[in-house]
Amino acid sequence: MDHSKLYRRFRTLLIANRGEIACRVIRTARAMGLRTVAVYSEADRDAMHVALADEALLLGPARARDSYLNVERLIDAARKTGAEAVHPGYGFLSENAEFARACFDAGLVFVGPTAGMMTAMGSKSGSKELMEKAGVPLVPGYHGEAQDEATLSKAADKIGFPILVKASAGGGGRGMRIVRSADELSPAIVSAKREAKAAFGDDRMLIEKYVDNPRHIEVQIIGDSHGNLLSLFERECTLQRRHQKVIEEAPSPTLNPAQREAVCAAARKAAGAVNYVGAGTIEFVSDGKDVFFIEMNTRLQVEHPVTELITGIDLVEWQLRVAFGEALPLKQDEIKLNGHAVEARVYAENPTKNFMPSVGRISTWRLPAETGGLRIDAGYREGDTVSPYYDAMLAKMIAWAPTRDVAIERLNRGLEESDVRGIVTNIPFLSALMTHPKVRTNAIDTGFIERELAVLTQAAPAPAELELCAAVAAIVNDERQAAQEGANSPWQTFGWQPVGRRQRSFAFRVGHGPEQKIVLNYGSGPSTLVIGERELAFATVAKDGGFDLTLDGVKSSVAAVIAGHELYLRTRNGRFDLHWVDPFGGESEEHIGEDKIAAPLPGTVVAVLAEEGAKLEKGAPILTLEVMKMEQTLRAPYAGVLKSIKCKVGDIVQEGVELAVVDPAGE
């Protein structure tokens, strides 16, 4: 093949993606002297990647199929902006052979493998056949062309339960179901096919033996157009939820040096089966002793930064150099492993509500500085809006250190010092995960998070003396700041008065809990706070994002955000949300019962699972929504009769819209 038609030097790069990966690619491309072009949907007009690029072009409406997944519009955007090359990032069209081929046909360099390589390795079924011929160890399974339910059922019986049903195309855990018995198989196939068709436009399934207590090991590989193919060590991505990675680390703490060399050699053999060019990942599942090939991702991975930190290699730079037609700058024996890196994915989601995505405006975005081995790849800023149309990942936090224990400590410190408000995030959940004793000792498997979910999502502790005092200090500091920003005012010191001492009472509560009262004494002499029978001397010194609070001589650092009468505090005891009871009255509460079957977020109705008039038990499934590329089943809140269904399959529904009514009386 004449590689000059596929790989050649270019000056202008279009990034066919959004969010943190678009920002990531733009930064490296600009550092290499390239001109960058961003594309965006109507929902992303003010997005961070649009602001970072040298030029940006509107693709179309918010829905991905009308913008980021529209091949014709992307090719036209490249033509209009003079882009000579396209980087697909990950997700969206990054593993779409038709897009790679369309770029080639349009005279564009596609920063990735060829369409042929993508077709061969991007199909889970096709790649398994290749690996079988190449002698790469496989998990027992079925990856044939016949897709009727009888064939799949027969294959499952032959393999033996438990089995894994998963989409042949795509990734990210979508279109994947664990099936533990024959009677679970049929509904799992129907659901997985529907989800795969919606996510990837391809509902073909494969079946694998489900490995109990599995570990997820993957190897980063990269090849050039001169026949060089390298492995850049392995990553472990065992901490997953619903088959989606949550924490990734490199190297794997599970493998010894001999196992490491064996799995890396197997990965090179796998990629070599198609003479692979570009960055990619060979994924394996391990039962603790052996590793088995499961699939190849023909793109950059979300977790690529951990590999970059242990090798000192910028993988995006290497991708671009390969696309230029250059040879890889290092040989296999020149790639050295240095230290340990751990990555956490920060999502806009609520772990206490089944990880439902959270949408809205980011009112506060405070992440720690990228120093001391900490790296943050973000796609959002303060003031940005998280929409319901795309994946809910906000950023990735990555920590490097000489050892795994220290890397985990650095990552957890970074998480603990992060404050994101306006939306709900999984940051407290990630911190609980990183401090779990079994994670520290690597006593985990891919089912660990599900088993430990109650521990990892337990409610925050009740506010103690420190938090009540901090709440008062936050209000006082906020009032002082407001006074300083006004004209010459006597309120430039809180509680100013001509003479004497006065008191000011405060009351706080958590949710609908009882009020907790505290009294501030101020005026002439030291200020004190009184809680019950205790009187505490206190002082504050404001700093960016919060203040130092000194109580009876003990100084504590406090982060604070005030929005009206809602207070967010982060102290040494954790994170707290308090409501400041209106001292002038006028409190009103909106009570929403749990019996309303309504859309938790904007989404699409993909299945109606019960008929009007049906008798339902509590928890019976009624309908399924697709929300931010994930399926969410709405269930009966109590036993009764399904009185009405107010939607149909295909409807796009808004948050809070009632979708069905269950009559508990059954009349």
Cα distance between residue 322 and residue 327, in whole Å: 7
Which conformational region is residue 555 in: left (phi greater than 0), alpha (psi within -120 to 50 degrees), or beta? beta
Contact between residue 620 and residue 631 where contact means Cβ atoms under 8 Å apart: no
Bridge partners of 375? Answer: 398
Contact between residue 615 and residue 589 where contact means Cβ atoms under 8 Å apart: no
Contact between residue 9 and residue 79 where contact means Cβ atoms under 8 Å apart: no
CA dihedral 580, 583, 588, 593 (to 10 degrees): 40
Residue holding tokens 């005891």?
Answer: 573
Residue 475 has, within 13 A of its CA and on its CB side, a CA count of: 24
Collapsing DSSP states into helix, strand and coil, what is residue 209? strand
444-453: Cβ within 8 A, 24+ apart: 444/215, 444/238, 444/239, 445/213, 445/214, 445/215, 445/238, 446/214, 446/215, 446/216, 446/238, 446/239, 446/240, 446/243, 447/213, 448/238, 448/239, 449/239, 449/240, 449/241, 449/246, 450/241
Cα distance between residue 238 and residue 244, in whole Å: 10
Spatial CB neighbours of 554, under 8 Å, sequence gap ≥ 6 = none
Burial 79-91 (b: 16+ CB within 10 A, else e): eebebbbbbbbbb
Tokens of 356: 């439902």
Spatial CB neighbours of 465, under 8 Å, sequence gap ≥ 6 = 531, 534, 536, 551
Pick from 52, 48, 96: nearest CA to 74: 96
Residue holding tokens 């859309």?
Answer: 599
- Which of the residues are catalytic? 299
Contact between residue 570 and residue 559 where contact means Cβ atoms under 8 Å apart: yes
Cα distance between residue 85 and residue 110, in whole Å: 6
CA 59 to chain CA mean position, Å: 24
CA dihedral 345, 349, 350, 351 (to 10 degrees): -30
Cα distance between residue 272 and residue 324, in whole Å: 21
Bridge partners of 608? Answer: 623
Pick from 384, 348, 300: nearest CA to 43: 384
Pick from 101, 47, 46, 48: nearest CA to 71: 101
Cα distance between residue 368 and residue 397, in whole Å: 10
Cα distance between residue 295 and residue 169, in whole Å: 10
Bridge partners of 40? Answer: 58
Collapsing DSSP states into helix, strand and coil, what is residue 479? helix
Residue 96 has, within 13 A of its CA and on its CB side, a CA count of: 21
Q: Which amino acid is at 114?
A: T
